[in-house]
Amino acid sequence: MTAENTDIARIFDQVADLLEVNGADYYRVRAYRNASRVIRDLSTPLRVTAASNDKKLEDLPGIGRDLAGRIREILNTGDLALREELETRLPGSLMEVLNVPGLGPRKTHELFLELGVTDLEDLEEAAASGKVRRLRGFGPGTERKILEGIHSIKGPGKRFFRSVAEVYARSIIEHMNAVPGLKRIEVAGSYRRLAETVRNLDILVTCDDAGAAVERFGEFAPITRVITAGPTGASVIIDPGIQVKMRVVDENSFGALLLRFTGSKAHVLALARMALDRGLKLSGNGVLQEGKKVAGRTEEEVYAALGLPWIPPELRENRGEIRLALEGLLPDLVDIGDIRGDLHIHTDATDGKDTLQDMVAEARRKKYLYIAITNHSKRVPGGLDAGALLEHWQRIERLDAVTPGIHLLKGVEVDILPDGSLDLEDKVLAGADYVIAAVHYDTEMSPTRMTGRIVKAINHPLVDAIAHPTGRRIDRNPPYGANMEDIVVAAGRAGICLELNAAPDRLDIDDIVCRSARDHGVTVSIATDAHSVRGLDFMRHGVNQARRGWLEKRDVLNSRTYRSLRNLLKDK
């Protein structure tokens, strides 16, 4: 890619902005701004001047030897190492803040110093809460323009289920694999930390030709708007509104940048403080010791330089993972390959879409050792009363007898009534292999009453697990409001399981409750709540959530063999 005068001027402007945000000397900033203006006004391309024997770049007004060298670097490489270095020095994602219309580098620098703003989320919170207007030189008008500018960059601020973002992330990686000389490509950010929802996708690339990577990225079909584009990266909006930022980075700094852009902010800052305590500096380029880079190519190398093992991205929330890593006590996280069966499945006998035979066939394709068919009890419209449930269990028994390689458990999802009792009699429930209890109706009650309602069901001798314990639907229905700590403690005492519902719009329980369950010795069942064959694929989303919650194989009910599962249920 040949750099034209406008490209060189734009890079000089970016360097001036970055210098100013980093608090550089005024005269150095002005030198780059003046040079940018000179370059834009030139009628002769700088590549021609650089190749000429009669004229020298150093002779151009406001250029001089140093800036002439910078121009030659851009002409030869398409970018400036200085620009990349300055960008990696910025705390957090301050470059995003710099791009907000109407801010500029001086105000961006002040927002960082006065309010600790390091990314768009920080800026939006500060503006929405009225903190910005209290700064000298800002005011209500500036605050309003900031919010409008943020809206113009990222749209209405919608977050997307990770399962939705995953489709586009995979498509982008497949699209970018066609770049000649592509060496590494990784999706970073909260997506890599397996967060429930994501606002944007951060993609890091190393390759032989940055220009070819940027060009290829720009050809991705779902792009609806280009926010910024340069010689080493671009930021775009793709349908359905997800912002995607792609950066081509130095291979020798890839690991350090991947760590930084994966975050979380609290984890990275804790590592930076740890580095300083050891006489080191953690930067976007790598780990520096007395100004010399000692690590940066891989994340493992960076962590090792700090005396740490590699920490899985899903644990990087600064919730004690660094201390445990130092002690060699990081959890061995559960993996999708550890899952032996699914213990929450519906069929067309109630509100499912596919038949019992279809669901069993799909479970066999997944090589499951067992599944529990848990259709609804009578409280749910279309649910089964005692007689219908017994007939349904007989069908399950008959199919189990002629289906090799998998065990079919007779189950039921029984409703927890407002007083904590169940909507089927004990003599019926006693015939089940696996009983899960759940709240579906009458959810508008005080946290105290709801907690008592669920705890009473927990203590029922025939209940094996509580399904979707908080009742939330992400971005739709808030949790019931029950005290989850009390529920976890009660489950531990009663020896029953809490379900981690793997449906992407539920992921109930969340990572915090998963961690609490682990700490209290409560076994968790990762279950899809599948209402169709396709729903059985949700298991991986539940495993992702379990990993964020520090769960190991031993903490998960359906990681057990069939015999171990039956023995545990029998002991309960």
Q: Cβ distance 179 to 212 under 8 Å?
A: yes
Residue 374 lies in a domain: yes
Is there a single domain that holds both residue 350 and residue 422? yes
Q: pTM for this one? A: 0.76
Give the model confidence (pLDDT) of 380-393 as tens digits.
Answer: 988 999 999 999 99
List the one residue out of 552, 569, 567, 52 whose CA is nearest residue 333.
552
Is there a single domain that holds both residue 411 and residue 301? no
Which CATH number covers residue 26? 1.10.150.110
Is there a single domain that holds both residue 120 and residue 191? no
Is there a single domain that holds both residue 245 and residue 365? no
Give the 3-state DSSP-derived string for 423-437, with helices as H, strands as E and coil as C. Answer: CCCHHHHCCCCEEEE
* Residue 224 phi, psi dihedral angles, 5° rounding: -110, -20
Residue 147 lies in a domain: yes
Size (the chain), residues: 572
Residue 472 lies in a domain: yes
Which CATH number covers residue 517? 3.20.20.140
What pLDDT, on the 0 to 100 scale, is given for residue 2? 59
Residue 108 lies in a domain: yes
What pLDDT, on the 0 to 100 scale, is given for residue 55? 62
Give the dihedral of Cα atoms 47, 51, 55, 61; nearest 10 deg.
30
Is there a single domain that holds both residue 189 and residue 267? no
Residue 123 lies in a domain: yes
What pLDDT, on the 0 to 100 scale, is given for residue 153? 63
Q: Cβ distance 81 to 73 under 8 Å?
A: yes
Asked if the model's pLDDT at residue 169 lies above 90, the reply is: yes
Q: Which of 20-24, 94-98, 148-152, 233-237 has the lowest mean pLDDT?
A: 148-152
Both tokens assigned to 521: 């010795």
Asked if the model's pLDDT at residue 144 lies above 90, the reply is: no
Residue 255 lies in a domain: no
Last residue of a domain, one of 112, 138, 154: 154
The vertex-238 CA angle with 232 and 244, nearest 5°, equals: 40
Can the peptide bond before residue 240 be classed as cis, meaning omega within 30 degrees of 0?
yes
Which CATH number covers residue 228? 3.30.460.10
Give, as one character, the DSSP assignment of residue 550: T
* Tally of CB atoms within 10 A around 250: 19
Per-residue pLDDT, averaged over 32-38, amounts to 86
Last residue of a domain, one of 326, 356, 374: 326
Give the model confidence (pLDDT) of 204-231 as tens digits.
Answer: 999 999 999 999 999 998 999 888 888 9
Strand boundaries in 84-147, DSSP class E: none
Give the model confidence (pLDDT) of 529-553 as tens digits.
Answer: 999 999 999 999 999 999 999 999 9
Residue 331 lies in a domain: no
Residue 220 structural domain: 160-249
Q: Cβ distance 286 to 256 under 8 Å?
A: yes
The vertex-510 CA angle with 117 and 268, nearest 5°, equals: 35
Is there a single domain that holds both residue 426 and residue 458? yes
Cα separation, 112 vs 104, in Å, equals 12
Number of domains, the chain: 4
Both tokens assigned to 296: 């940066």
Both tokens assigned to 286: 């790598």
Both tokens assigned to 268: 């990275």
Is there a single domain that holds both residue 264 and residue 406? no
Mean pLDDT estimate for the chain? 91
Last residue of a domain, one of 193, 227, 249: 249
Is there a single domain that holds both residue 382 and residue 235? no
Residue 401 lies in a domain: yes
What pLDDT, on the 0 to 100 scale, is given for residue 499? 98
Is there a single domain that holds both residue 83 and residue 65? yes
Q: Cβ distance 370 to 341 under 8 Å?
A: yes
Is there a single domain that holds both residue 354 and residue 448? yes
- SS3 call for 534: helix
Give the model confidence (pLDDT) of 234-271 as tens digits.
Answer: 999 998 889 999 999 999 999 999 999 998 999 999 99
Give the model confidence (pLDDT) of 432-468 as tens digits.
Answer: 999 999 999 998 899 999 999 999 999 999 999 999 9
Is there a single domain that holds both residue 244 and residue 281? no
Both tokens assigned to 417: 């009534």
Is there a single domain that holds both residue 407 and residue 289? no
Which residue's structure tokens are 């009663």? 494
* Tally of CB atoms within 10 A around 424: 22
